Amino acid sequence: MKEIKGIIVPICTPFYEDESVNHEELRRQIDRQIEAGIDGIFPFGTNGEGYILNGEEKREVLKTTIEQVAGRVPVYAGTGCISTKETIAQSLMAKELGADVVSIITPSFAKASQEELYRHYKTVAEAVDMPVLLYNIPARTGNALEPETVRRLAQIPNIVGAKDSSGNWDNLKAYIDIRKERPDFAVLSGNDSLILNSLKYGGQGAIAGCANVYPHVMASIYDLFIAGKLEEAEEVQNSIASFRAVFKYGNPNTIVKKAVNLLGYPVGECRAPFNGLSEEGYEELKKVLAENKEKGMH
């Protein structure tokens, strides 16, 4: 198995104006990311709008991704669905196409107990003979994976790690502490402002939405840390704060995708209805991108 580490991009899914997938632009974005030093490509994650793609679209996006990546970095497929049955079907599809890891978000909408979440992941892991990454993003799904549940799940051999997008540092630290019992259990930050903190504490990296906009910047947080250049890593980590501040104006996915468009890459809008941004927010985004360009961020 390829090691889970570094900065992985939840790559945005480019759309044409009619909301169909623009596979050619997806190929260009994959090359852009890898050439900038990104350590993994993650199609149809949150930033890839996995929540709004149907099963066939996911298959085609994953097929294009695996073909274009051509083994240069690991491919992480977001295969979590609301039901255990559909999650298994999507994960088996990803395995068949050749994904390296499946990332499984917690089921959403209906409230699940920790025991139900444990059984869900255990059943999927047993049905799919490939590495499974847990994905906790309670603000979006309504269901949080508690550290104790993650600790129990870490006892299943092919559950190889967890991504925490709770934004709660104590929760992320509690996930990383599981590595004391299982050193090869990878913990990734899903909050881009906590990447360096998590690396210092013993995490393995991040799945970073901002990498869609600034792939080289995000990749260098990890690279500088590994090289022992902590002050430089801190500077780079802090450099994305102004961009992240724009998230107060709307859905981060929408803002990230609009930013990629403003940089000159025709990735299109997010699928309706999740594609609005106020005039004030749009102007602030343009201002921040211009300021960052002057600083040489890319």
Query: What are the 10-residue block averages of pLDDT along the chain, 298 residues in total?
Result: 91 98 98 98 94 95 98 97 97 98 95 97 98 95 96 98 96 97 97 96 97 98 98 97 96 96 97 96 97 91
pLDDT of residue 298: 85
Checking phi first, is residue 138 left (phi over 0); if not, alpha (psi -120 to 50) or beta?
alpha
Give the list of residues 6+ apart from residue 271 with CB closer than 8 angstroms, or none: 15, 19, 49, 52
Q: Which CATH superfamily, name and number, covers 6-230? A: Aldolase class I (3.20.20.70)
pLDDT tens per residue, range 234-266 = 999 999 999 999 999 999 999 999 999 999 999
pLDDT of residue 177: 98
Q: Give me 262's structure tokens.
A: 């403003």
Taken in order 177, 178, 183, 187, the sign of the CA dihedral is negative
pLDDT of residue 22: 98
Give the list of residues 6+ apart from residue 281 with CB closer than 8 angstroms, or none: 246, 249, 250, 255
pLDDT of residue 1: 66
* Alpha helices (runs of H) in 178-214, residue ranges in sequence order: 195-201
Can you give the length of the chain in residues?
298
Active site residue 180: no
Contact 178, 164 (CB under 8 A): no
pLDDT tens per residue, range 145-166 = 999 999 999 999 999 999 999 9
DSSP category for residue 100: S
Enumerate the domain spans of the chain. 6-230
Say which of 5, 58, 163, 258 is annotated catalytic: 163
Instruction: Give residue 29's Cα distance to chain centre.
Output: 15
Q: Give me 190's structure tokens.
A: 């899903």
**Whole-prediction pTM:** 0.96
Active site residue 135: yes
Helix, strand and coil content of the chain, in percent to the nearest 5, comes to 50, 10, 35
Say which of 135, 175, 222, 265 is annotated catalytic: 135
Cis link prior to 273 (omega < 30° from 0)? yes
Distance CA 148, CA 154 (A): 10
